[in-house]
Amino acid sequence: AQSVAQPEDQVNVAEGNPLTVKCTYSVSGNPYLFWYVQYPNRGLQFLLKYITGDNLVKGSYGFEAEFNKSQTSFHLKKPSALVSDSALYFCAVSSNDYKLSFGAGTTVTVRA
Amino acid sequence: DGGITQSPKYLFRKEGQNVTLSCEQNLNHDAMYWYRQDPGQGLRLIYYSQIVNDFQKGDIAEGYSVSREKKESFPLTVTSAQKNPTAFYLCASSPGPWPGEYFGPGTRLTVL
């Protein structure tokens, strides 16, 4: 079985400060890891993914994530948050078997 | 533009009625997926299809049915057997067994 944990329901940061959204995973075999963002009543927007290669993955809108195999983590980061980054963020894991397991989501609020 | 369309955006159903949600993609992807989203629970996989005329149950298939007669279409029927169908339904597609990058805008189903 595979699973994802997002330990923080909410993250609050000031605009211009660094943003980190945490994610840990459990999977048999090699993990395929994803981050998504969702705005109210909208579908998911893909931010970035880790399949193989460099542990630091760069994605859309200035986001990046670091794959840490020993800690089974894939935290999402942005060096300088914007008010427009306020949204719901999901981490997900797959083991290349068509099934994607999602975390419960983290609500990010960036205050001006 | 390539993408995934879902219709309708909002759907209301009376208890005891079946209802069908549409999902169409023009990305030429072999695999398609249906997810259900409830507040605080992330997304859960209902059904997925790796290829035309084939589909498999996901984690919460009870009370749902699908068909895959065409590569570009993967409709989901919510039957009267689904005990709590009010939710946000998301369709996705992928070119192979690594789901993740392409999601539709979603259909919000409300049972009256």
Specify whether the CB–CB gap between B91 and A34 falls below 8 A: no
Residue B1 is predicted with a pLDDT of 59
Q: How many CB atoms lie within 10 A of CB B34?
A: 27
Query: How do residues A38-79 score in pLDDT, each as one tens digit?
Result: 998 788 899 999 988 899 999 999 999 999 999 999 999 999
Percentage of the residues of chain A whose pLDDT score is greater than 70: 99
Please compute the mean of the pLDDT values over residues A93-97 and round it to a whole number.
81
In angstroms, what CA-CA distances link A14 with A11, A23, A61, A88, B79?
10, 21, 17, 17, 46
Positions in chain B short of pLDDT 50 = none
pLDDT on residue B25: 97
Question: Which pLDDT score, from 0 to 100, does residue A11 have?
Answer: 98
Average the pLDDT over A3-13 and give the result. Answer: 96
pLDDT of residue A107: 97
Count Cβ neighbours within 10 Å for each residue of A1-25 and write b for 16 or more, e otherwise.
Answer: ebebebeeeebebeeeeebebbbbb
Residues of B in contact with A46 (CB under 8 A): 100-103
pLDDT at A15 over 90: yes
The closest CB to that of B98, out of A42, A90, A94, belongs to A94
Residue A20 near residue A75 (C-beta atoms within 8 A)? yes
To the nearest whole number, what is the mean pLDDT of chain A?
A: 93
**CB < 8 Å to B99, chain A:** 94, 98-100
Instruction: Identify which of A42, A104, A105 has the shortest CB distance to residue B105.
Output: A42
